[in-house]
Chain A
Amino acid sequence: MSLAGDIETVLSSGVRLAAPLAFAACGEYLAERAGTLNISVEAMMLGAAFGAVAVAGLTGSGIAGLLAGVLIGALIGLVHGVLAHGLAVNTFVVGLVLNALVLGLTSYLIATAAPLSRPPERWPLYSLLAIVPLTWWLVGRSRWGLELRAAGENPQAAAMTGIRVNLRRRQALLWCGALSGLGGAYLAVGEVGSFNQNMTAGRGYLVIAAVIFGGWRLARTLVGCALFGLADALRLALPALGVTLNSQLLISAPYLLALLAMLLFASRHNQPQALGRPFPRGGA
């Protein structure tokens, strides 16, 4: 094969590997700007991937599958929001438990049910063209987004001006769940066409790394997703091309880049000031 052909193969598989990350990254970006460092994005993607394949298999419709994925993701976001920003359970504890619960539940269900598979349909990829500008506008230009960012930067001041901080954070998690669910559903229905045990395999954590790498800016976050997708594509393609490059290095590159970005650009990053900190009811 020619060099141009090789590059084209790697690029196109890179785009396909980056797409599920990009959907979820829009959601995670929104949740983090509202002050939730949401680690249950892994659960959202995995649960949605399972639900999407199940519903698409039952109804024979890819769209129904995607919708089911969005709903499951949003449901997980709702549970996370109520527990972390309603009942004030530590958000990382909630995330860990949800990740463990969804991994256990989907593994259990796929082991008891007949595996479903269907031809992949890639068209939902193009919805990113609408979702990215929408996320940008919502967070950066709308009144709701301004309140969201206030809840993430300075919840005390936000509450003082009448913004319902925990409500905004719950709403952000709901959005995050819906978009991460779409990412997981796209991975299962759009790319693979079936579900296998732990099929997201840590993609949710990659999404978190992408938001950090992007310095809590949407455009750079998406660049991060593209880079991580490309690294994954390279890792898969290189052996066939006869090039030896350390695969462990390529797998760990996203996490290394995220850590390095935080270490090197900490002062220039616009990390939300109250990221990961709960806002207790009654203020102060």
Chain B
Amino acid sequence: MIRTVAALVVALALSSLLITVTGGSPPAALQALVRGSLGDATALSLTLLYAAPLLLIAVGACVSARAGVFNIGQEGQVLVGALAGAAVGLRLAVPGPALVVVILLASAFAAGLWAWLSSLMHRLRGVDIVVSTLLMTFLAQQVVAFAVNTPWLLQESRLGRATVLPQTNKLPADALLGSIGHYPGLRVNAGLLTGAVLAILVAVVLARTRWGFRITLLGLNPRAAQHSGVRVGALGGVALAISGALAGLAGAVVLASPLSTNRLQPGTSLGIGWDGLLVALVARNRPLLAIPVAGLFAVLRSGGSFLAATGVPSYLVDVVKALLVLAFVAPPALKRWSSA
């Protein structure tokens, strides 16, 4: 605990030093960060919007990591989810609000299947899961680029215009995630509720059910798991698929919420897959802990856009995020090392 606090102080000191060296003012930057993320109802609404996909991805990453399967392909799985969501939302004639449910299910299914392919390659040919999930991220990016650049797939309709952009048509209104409840100025998107409910559900399942115990056992000692009757390969595959499915869900949430223009574009994922993975690392693979950490990372994302006004480039938040992860990952290792 003391080590973690010390590491956090070091991370913040390094960030301040970086701002000072490049001629900025750390207090002004901090103020802009807070104002841009929590300052008023609009800022807070944006922060909550960002928190939803981050939380979904992180909860998924917790499930696979707890099973000892390290998935680092969330960025691609987010895109695959968004692609499936866009395809269903634009092509299926599902009436009324059922459409948004169908989109969420389709995105989770497609991305879950995409991630599960890595498990399949591992079981059939011994392909390393970390490597294949990473490589498949770059494939996913090109699949989405192909889909939105190809008129007979998902590219927007020409409608007599001279140029069409690499993006899909706008999703119909029924496909979008609405706000929950009515607060003056504040909008809480349904995506956040989905994320919070799933985080709690996953935490309970992991801690309290036989299935959750098997997952934990598999992660701690695969050989012991196998001897006690766990089908190691299959269970690892399921954990990987769940992790992919949650990342895909995050992709649909980005696509169907005001975070995007509600059109699928090559950049729809916003790099949020990488960030969600970092959230899980800081939360040390505990889904409930991922809730506040996702909130913190969302603050950095929404506040980051306010930094530019203080003369500090918004890339600062990327440095802070990486230092935060280091601050949470290094101390336990130091402890192990000094007691070994």
Chain A residues in the interface with B (C-beta under 8 A): 37, 39, 83, 86-90, 92-93, 96-98, 100-101, 103-105, 107-109, 111-113, 202, 205, 208-209, 212, 246, 248-249, 251-252, 255-256, 258-259, 262-263, 266, 275-276, 281-282
Contact with A along B150-188 (1 / 0, CB 8 A): 000000000000000000000000000000000000000
Q: Interface 1/0s, chain B 303-330, versus A by CB < 8 A?
A: 0000000000101111111110110011
Task: Determine which of A112, A205, A212, A263 lies in contact with B138 in the assembled complex, contact meaning CB atoms within 8 Å.
Answer: A205
Is the Cβ of B130 less than 8 Å from the Cβ of A92? yes
Decide: A276 and B128 in contact? CB cutoff 8 A: yes
User: Known interface pairs A37-B130, A108-B313, A255-B138. Does A100 touch B322 (Cβ–Cβ under 8 Å)?
Assistant: yes
Q: DSSP class of B's interface residues: helix, strand, loop or mixed?
A: helix
Asked if A263 and B125 make an inter-chain contact with CB atoms under 8 angstroms apart, the answer reads yes
Whether B131 lies near A263 (C-beta < 8 A) is no
Q: Taking CB as reference atom, which chain B residue is nearest A101?
A: B322
Cα distance A263–B120 when bound, in Å?
11
Of B72, B126, B316, B336, which is within 8 A of A92 by CB? B72
Chain B residues with CB under 8 Å of chain A are 18, 22-23, 70, 72, 121, 124-128, 130-132, 134-136, 138-139, 141-143, 145-146, 149, 274, 277-278, 281, 313, 315-323, 325-326, 329-330, 333-334, 336-337, 340
Measured CB to CB, the closest approach of chain B to A129, in angstroms, equals 30
Specify which chain B residues have a CB less than 8 angstroms from the CB of A97 in the assembled complex: 278, 281, 322, 325-326, 329
Complexed CA–CA distance, A37 and B127 (Å): 13
Contacts of A98 in B (CB 8 A): 322
Instruction: Pick from B23, B124, B274, B329 the residue with the most CB of A within 10 Å.
Output: B329
Of the candidates A111, A202, A208, A259, the one whose C-beta lies within 8 Å of that of B315 is A111
Question: In the bound complex, how far is the Cα of B330 from the Cα of A86, in angstroms?
Answer: 11
Smallest distance from the beta carbon of B187 to chain A beta carbons, Å?
Answer: 29
Q: A202-B138, A252-B143, A259-B127 are in contact. List 4 more A-B contacts (CB 8 A).
A: A37-B130, A96-B277, A97-B326, A104-B315
Q: Is the CB of B329 within 8 A of A93?
A: yes
Q: Whole-angstrom distance between the alpha carbons of A88 and B124 in the complex?
A: 30
For residue A37, give the distance in angstroms from its CB to the closest CB of chain B. Answer: 7
With A92-B72, A96-B274, A107-B313 already in contact, the answer to whether A262 and B125 are too (CB < 8 A) is yes
CA A105 to CA B318, docked complex, whole Å: 8
Contact B121–A263 (Cβ < 8 Å): yes
Question: Contact between A248 and B146 (Cβ–Cβ < 8 Å)?
Answer: yes
The answer to whether A96 and B70 have CB atoms under 8 Å apart is no
Interface centre among A107, A108, A109, A263 (most CB of B within 10 A): A108
Distance A208 CA – B94 CA, assembled complex (angstroms):
44
- Report B-chain residues with C-beta under 8 Å of the C-beta of A266: 125-127
Interfacial chain B residues near A88, Cβ < 8 Å: 333, 336-337
Whether the pair A246, B146 counts as a contact (CB closer than 8 A) is yes
Q: Which of B22, B135, B313 contacts A255 (CB 8 A)?
A: B135
In the assembly, what is the distance between CA of A108 and CA of B329, in Å? 23
Min CB–CB distance A167 → chain B (angstroms): 15
- B131 contacts which chain A residues (CB < 8 A)? 37, 208, 212, 262
CB distance from A152 to the nearest CB of B (A): 14
- Smallest CB gap from B24: residue in A: A112
Residues of A within 8 A of B313 (CB): 107-108, 111-112
CA–CA, A281 and B340, complex, Å: 8
User: Known contacts A104-B319, A276-B130: does B333 contact A89 (CB below 8 Å)?
Assistant: yes
- CB closest chain-A residue, reference B334: A87
CB pair A205 B142 closer than 8 Å: no
Q: How far is the CB of B133 from chain A (nearest CB, A)?
A: 10
Residues of B within 8 Å of A104, CB to CB, are 315-322
State how many angstroms separate the Cβ of A114 from the closest Cβ of chain B: 12
The answer to whether A209 and B135 touch across the interface, beta carbons within 8 angstroms, is: yes
B132 to chain A: closest residue by CB: A259
Q: Given A37-B131, A202-B138, A276-B130, is A86 in contact with B337 using a C-beta cutoff of 8 Å?
A: yes
Cross-chain contact A248 with B142 (CB below 8 angstroms): yes
Residue of B nearest to A107 (CB): B315
CA distance A270 to B52 in the complex (A): 43
Given A108-B318, A111-B313, A112-B22, A37-B128 contact (CB < 8 Å): yes
Q: CA–CA, A280 to B339, complex, Å?
A: 13
Contact between B128 and A275, CB atoms less than 8 A apart: yes
| Complex alpha-carbon distance, A90 and B284, angstroms | 12
